[in-house]
Amino acid sequence: MDVVEEHDIQDKHTKKKTKKPKKQPKPPHENGNDSMIEKTEPEHVDAPAEFSFPPTFSVSEIKNKQRRHLMFMKLKQEKRKQKVAIKKKKKKERDALGDKAPPKEVPKTIENQRVYDETTVNPEDEEVAFDEGTDEFSAYFNRLTNPKVLITTSDRPRGRTVRFCNQLATVIPDAHVYYRRGLALKKVIPQCIARGFTYLMVINEDRKVPNGMVLCHLPDGPTAHFKVSSVRLRKEMKRRGKDPTEHSPEVILNNFTTRLGHSMGRLFAALFPHDPQFVGRQVATFHNQRDFIFFRFHRYIFKNEKRVGIQELGPRFTLKLRSLQKGTFDSKFGEYEWVLKRHENDVCRRRFNL
Amino acid sequence: MQHDDVIWDVIGNRAFCSFKVKTKVQNFCRNEYNITGLCNRSSCPLANSQYATIREEKGQCFLYMKVIERAAFPARMWEKVKLSKNYEKALEQIDQNLIYWPRFIRHKCKQRFTKITQYLIRIRKLTLKRQRKLVPLSRKVEAREKRKEEKALIAAQLDNAIEKELLERLKQGTYGDIYNFPIHAFDKALEHQDEESETDSEEEEEEDDEDVGKKEFVAEDEIEESDLNHSHFDRVEEDESEEEMEEEPEASGSKGKMPLKGAVFRKKRAYVEIEYEQEMEPVPKSKAT
């Protein structure tokens, strides 16, 4: 039976391919034929019955590749049709019920299904508040220090990296770019501290493209090592605005929920001066999504109290945290607070750290 | 018996020598015991019965001397002498061991030893400096990460998030009095009458000042109320916007944008006013209570 059916179907297909839609007047297959040729009819309740495959049938068991392909395509079409039919039915039911219809189901997203991280910070958590009152950033948040950033690169930077550093320096107020002349970071750090810098940012380069960033909070602060990707310089931005002005931008930090994310947020916040100058209407955003931190720099304008227009200036890049180390930069003897271990995150797709 | 000349004739000139590397100008010898590295009659370790070299192993230099009597046992043919770490002492050692040896070999040994010590010093210096650590990237992993990043970017909906955040901040009043959009706040005050009413009350007072002048108008000419108020508001709002315009050019200093912004503001202002006009009706009611 199966073989015969397949054979007939195969014939029909081949005939269709030769662009001769012969309506074969074979009574048992008539409906099926119609369903094959008139694909636009979604609800052809009879057709699936004709072509309902016996339960033990599997497309992968056909040895002939062409035939197998055809059967698979048919299977797909059937499934699609069924799906559309179900949707229509549901819609009808929903319309029929009107107001009494059950609320629309929310589709599952990775954010919805995220594995609950036990280090998620509760806004009222006292312990966290106490920690933050006494950690390395407390000096900044208590307005004792003003941020001063030193931006440098790895050895022998290429044009793209240099331009990126310069653009970063325009985005972050009070940032200075220095050429790295093969100096060791451990020797650079005491000099920076002596000159009153609060942040050291090193952009690492590979194959003429920036690919890593080491962000070191200076007096004795944590060192974060990021992987940098998708760097877009100002030239490459579409519909961008004019160059950023000297005003201090506002800072937006989105989605930093866990304890680690919290410290990251503070790390980024301390890069910028305390009081943003609203006159400048510039905003720097660090948005965390699935452990990727997207940086954007915009100029905004309020059209009315319900609409705001934003225009992207400035470079954009994404960061992924690789490791967070407690003291200043010391890769050998430093104490690592957190290190990215790939196998941890490979286990569950819905587990994130930030 | 070792016939050096015959050996040299064969391997050096006529037939094949597996250690010989031929280049356009010169021939090199890849034999590890060769003292100069060139393929010469005097430097060939195979074609010289009396031969010595300096070789270095893990920072230690040795003087190797060929004992031709043991030519039949190649594994035991070379005698090793460990040289002192002190440069001068080592040179003396070489001299002592190679006394009565041909000048050429003695000289070349010392030269080679000097070169070796120099490069050992350089190695030690370099290890003290910064060493670049190369981390291998796995192509699969990188491709996976890139894909994840793209998906995350789509899920993030950055523009919407930023706009929402900015509007939130505007509502909460972090911008203070810079932007004059009192309507929404006013509505909130009417609906909720929460803490927000404190900030709104200031705005209400401002409106009161405006109203004081106009209240009489409203009372007297009720028919033409809408028209009069409308026109009045136009003028008032434009004055306000003009004031703002004067402030901002001084403050920001970006010239290109200003005239545009002014025009935008004015047009939008006119638009807003019409709505404002409608919202004004509840005012008298609240004042009554």
Whether A280 sits inside 8 A of B252 (CB atoms) is: yes
What is the chain B residue with the closest CA to A276?
B175
| Tokens (6 digits) for A167 | 């653009």
**Is 50 exceeded by the pLDDT of residue A217?**
yes
Looking at residue B246, what is its pLDDT?
A: 41
Tell me the two tokens of residue B172.
Answer: 């909460």
Q: Can you give the pLDDT at residue B129? A: 83
Q: How many Å separate Cα A211 from the centre of its chain?
A: 17
B198, amino acid identity: E
Question: What are B31-75's pLDDT values in tens digits?
Answer: 999 999 999 999 999 999 999 999 999 999 999 999 999 999 999
Q: How confident is the model at residue B227 (pLDDT cuts 50, 70, 90)?
A: very low
Any residues with CB less than 8 A from the CB of A352 and at least 6 apart, and which?
Answer: A114, A115, A117, A290, A291, A345
What separation, in Å, do the N-terminal and C-terminal C-alpha atoms of chain A show?
59
Cβ–Cβ gap B252/A305 under 8 Å: no
Which bin fits A184, alpha (ψ -120 to 50), beta or left (φ > 0)? beta
8 A C-beta contact, residue B183 and residue A318? no
Q: What is the mean pLDDT of residues A315-329?
A: 92
Count of A–B CB contacts within 8 Å? 98
Picking from A110, A111, A305, the nearest residue to B184 by CB comes out as A305
What pLDDT does B258 receive? Answer: 41
Per-residue pLDDT for B232 more than 90?
no
The pLDDT value given to residue A53:
60
B177 in helix, strand or coil?
Answer: coil
* pLDDT value at B226 more than 70: no
Q: What pLDDT does residue A160 have?
A: 93
Of A140-144, A267-271, B179-183, the range with the lowest mean pLDDT is B179-183
**Phi and psi at residue B151, in whole multiples of 5°?**
-65, -40
| pLDDT at res. B133 | 82
User: Which of B155, B165, B171 faces A290 most closely, judged by CB atoms?
Assistant: B155
H helix intervals, A60-201: 65-97, 126-134, 138-141, 159-171, 185-194
Q: Is pLDDT of A224 > 50? A: yes
Please compute the mean of the pLDDT values over residues A194-207 and round it to a whole number. 92
Tell me the mean pLDDT in the region B10-19. 92
Percent of chain B with pLDDT over 90: 52
Please determine, for residue A243, whether its predicted confidence score (pLDDT) is greater than 50. Answer: yes
B209 SS3 class: helix
A199-206/A149-153 β-pairing: parallel
Mean pLDDT for the stretch of residues B151-155: 93
Whether pLDDT at B233 is above 60:
no
Q: Is A306–B130 a contact, with Cβ atoms under 8 angstroms apart?
A: no
Tell me how close the Cα of A172 comes to any Cα of chain B, in angstroms: 18
Whether A333 shows a pLDDT value over 50: the answer reads: yes
pLDDT beyond 90 at B269: no
Chain B residues in contact with A301 (beta carbon < 8 A): 261, 264
Q: What is the pLDDT of residue B5?
A: 93
The verdict on a CB contact (< 8 Å) between A289 and B155 is: yes
What share of chain A in percent tops pLDDT 90? 43
Question: Phi then psi for A133, rounded to 5 degrees?
Answer: -70, -20
Sorted by sequence, the CB contacts under 8 Å of residue B266 that are 6+ apart come out as B238, B241
**Structure confidence by residue, pLDDT tens digits, B156-182:** 999 999 999 999 988 888 887 777 776
Query: pLDDT at residue B194 above 70?
Result: no
Interface test with B, best of A183, A231, A281 (most B CBs within 10 A): A281
Beta strands in chain A (DSSP E): 149-153, 175-177, 199-206, 209-217, 223-232, 250-254, 282-289, 292-304, 307-325, 336-339
- Quick one: average pLDDT of A13-37? 44
| Residues from chain B contacting residue A182 (CB–CB below 8 Å) | 130
Position B143 scores a pLDDT of 95
* pLDDT bucket at A51, cuts 50 / 70 / 90: low
Instruction: Choose the most confident range, by mean pLDDT, from B96-110, B117-131, B230-244.
Output: B96-110
CB A301 within 8 A of CB A281: yes
Inform me whether the pLDDT recorded for A184 exceeds 50: yes
Nearest CB among A250, A305, A310 relative to B163 is that of A310
pLDDT band at A25 (very low <50, low <70, confident <90, very high): very low
Give me the mean pLDDT over the A206-221 stretch: 91
Residues on B contacting A at a C-beta cutoff of 8 Å: 129-130, 132, 141, 145-146, 148-149, 151-153, 155-156, 158-159, 161-163, 165-167, 169-171, 175-176, 178-179, 181, 183-185, 248, 251-254, 256-257, 261, 264, 268, 272
The residue among B58, B57, B59, B92 whose CA lies nearest residue B78 is B57
Q: Rounded CA gap, B258 and B244, in Å?
A: 11
* Highest-scoring range by mean pLDDT, A23-37, A100-114, A131-145, A282-296: A282-296
Q: Do B145 and A279 touch (CB under 8 A)?
A: no
pLDDT at B145 over 90: yes
- Nearest partner of B202 among B173, B230, B229, judged by Cα: B173
A305 has a chain B CB within 8 A of its CB: yes
Q: What is the mean pLDDT of chain A?
A: 83
**Nearest CA-CA distance, residue A241 and chain B, Å:** 10
Distance CA B71, CA B73 (A): 5
**Bridge partners, A30 (sequence order):** none
Q: Is the pLDDT confidence value at A29 over 60?
A: no
- What mean pLDDT is predicted for residues A138-146? 86
Please tell me the predicted confidence (pLDDT) of residue A138.
Answer: 86
Which 8-state DSSP code applies to residue A160? H
The C-alpha of B160 sits at a distance from chain A's nearest C-alpha, in angstroms, of: 10
Mutate to test the interface with A, among B165, B174, B271 (most CBs of A within 10 A): B165
pLDDT band at residue B130 under the 50/70/90 scheme: confident
Q: Give the pLDDT of residue A14.
A: 46
Higher pLDDT, B180 or A241: A241
Give the residue from A326, A256, A267 showing the smallest Cα distance to A132.
Answer: A267
Residue A337's SS3 state is strand
Confidence of residue B224 (pLDDT cuts 50, 70, 90): very low
ipTM above 0.85, yes or no: no
**Dist CA A147 CA A137 (whole Å):** 11
pLDDT band at B268 (very low <50, low <70, confident <90, very high): very low
